[in-house]
Amino acid sequence: MAWARNENTEEYELIYADPPWNYNFSKTKNREIENHYETMDIEEIKDMDIPAEENCVLYMWTTAPKLKEAIEVIEEWGFEYKTCAIWNKKKLGMGYWFRGQHEILLVATRGDISPPKSEDRRSSIFEIERGKHSKKPDAFRKYIEKAHPNLSKIELFAREGFEGWNLHGNEKSKAKQRRLSQNV
């Protein structure tokens, strides 16, 4: 899947992304990520021509095994890493070194973007039980909206729409892709 840019493509001040990282180390077919959604390798993700304004904040999901690659993507997209938040899923998952119980939400900026107002900042740890595979809790989007109420927003690799957000999905169906690419 590629981001199709043209001269009419809008650019955004805030990008929320959950890249479909390719995990090529599963030894059992029933544990493969591809059973849940189509994935992209690191070069495909890095090569995306993302719709970022000159001044933009990026909130991007990753996992511990993909942390190094996620930082590479941030830099390739022209952003500078700032900080992160942790989603404690409250339940053990799979793993090879540790049984993963968290995901990481990286924050990066480019240009002149201010951090949230002090009264809008919260703990960097979100403790929310996981739900459907790969679905991120709405609490993160709500925090981002509160922290950056006036920025134009897009969610990359979206699977569902939310009011006030433009979307670009990662689905195979072209009809569904057209629906996701519309302003919700």
88 in any annotated domain: yes
Task: Give pLDDT, residue 179.
Answer: 40
2 in any annotated domain: no
6 in any annotated domain: no
133 in any annotated domain: yes
Could you give the number of structural domains in the chain? 1
Task: Give pLDDT, residue 47.
Answer: 95
Residue 105's domain spans which residues? 12-23+31-181
Q: Domain containing 127 — which CATH number?
A: 3.40.50.150
5 in any annotated domain: no
CA distances from 135 to 37, 39, 141 (A): 11, 15, 12
42 in any annotated domain: yes
164 in any annotated domain: yes
Task: Give pLDDT, residue 151.
Answer: 97
7 in any annotated domain: no
Q: pLDDT digit of tens for each residue in the chain (184 aa)?
A: 455 555 557 999 999 999 999 887 555 554 445 444 588 999 999 999 999 999 999 999 999 999 999 999 999 999 999 999 999 999 888 888 899 899 999 999 999 999 999 999 999 999 988 877 667 889 999 999 999 999 999 999 887 888 889 988 754 334 344 444 444 4
Compute, in degrees rounded to 10, the torsion defined by CA atoms 85, 126, 154, 71: 20
Task: Give pLDDT, residue 26.
Answer: 54
